[in-house]
Amino acid sequence: MLLFVSVSSKAKIKGLEKIDRLFNTYANSSLGMIDPEGIEALCSDLGVDYTDVRILMLAWKLKAEKQGYFTQDEWQTGLKALGVDSLSKLKKALSDLEKEVEKPSNYEDFYTYAFRYCLTEEKQKSVDIESICELLNLVLGVQFRPQIDSLIEYLKVQNDYKVINSDQWINFLRFCKEISFPDLENYDATQAWPLILDNYVEWMREKHS
């Protein structure tokens, strides 16, 4: 939602100035970008915990590449897209952001982004189980509480997989959306579900027999 309509470049520059000033409040001057410390500060100013899912959503909106960092470009583009140029406006926008993410057209994109955001090393393709469990809880916990709790329990207990890749990650969401729970009746192991979910379903069925 763009509030700025390019009428006068002066107005544009003015709006941009405010955004930049806000940026500089939190940025690490030597790095030229907001670092984890800065984000923590931003969070406390916004009144949210820095592990809150809304910060993740903000990162998604900013299309932040690196976890824990916001570049100036990302900041500018993101805040412009949100239509905010002050802290108070940003605070308000956060709650709107929640609704925006929940829109079906955005949700899968956000979900995939959440995984990518965790790939901190170059060429890293998978995320460790611990982090995945936390991420699942954060991202899907509210909407699919029982499935996520059960899945997290399984992930911690099993030892076939020590990391999760993006293919498996995306299928977790599909699983929650498509498979009836807790009976898992419409799950078909001969279909193209990742093996980890086949194992999970088997584990569930054994538990409940």
Return the H-helix or E-strand segment holding 187: none
By the 8 A CB rule, do 102 and 23 touch?
Answer: no
- What's the min distance (Å) between Cβ of 21 and other proteins? 42
Number of residues that this document lists for the chain: 209
8 A C-beta contact, residue 141 and residue 173: no
Cβ proximity to other proteins, 138 vs 170, nearer residue:
170
**Minimal distance, residue 179 CB to other proteins, in Å:** 12
- Helix locations, 143-192, DSSP H: 145-157, 166-178
The site for other proteins (CB under 8 A) is made up of 125-126, 165, 167-168, 174, 190-192, 194-195, 198
CB 42 within 8 A of CB 64: no
- Closest CB 77 distance from other proteins, rounded Å: 26
Closer to other proteins by Cβ: residue 147 or 168: 168
- Give the residue with the Cβ less far from other proteins, 93 or 164: 164
Question: Closer to other proteins at the Cβ: 19 or 164?
Answer: 164
Asked whether 175 and 157 are in contact (CB, 8 A), the reply is no
Smallest gap, in angstroms, from Cβ of residue 119 to other proteins? 13
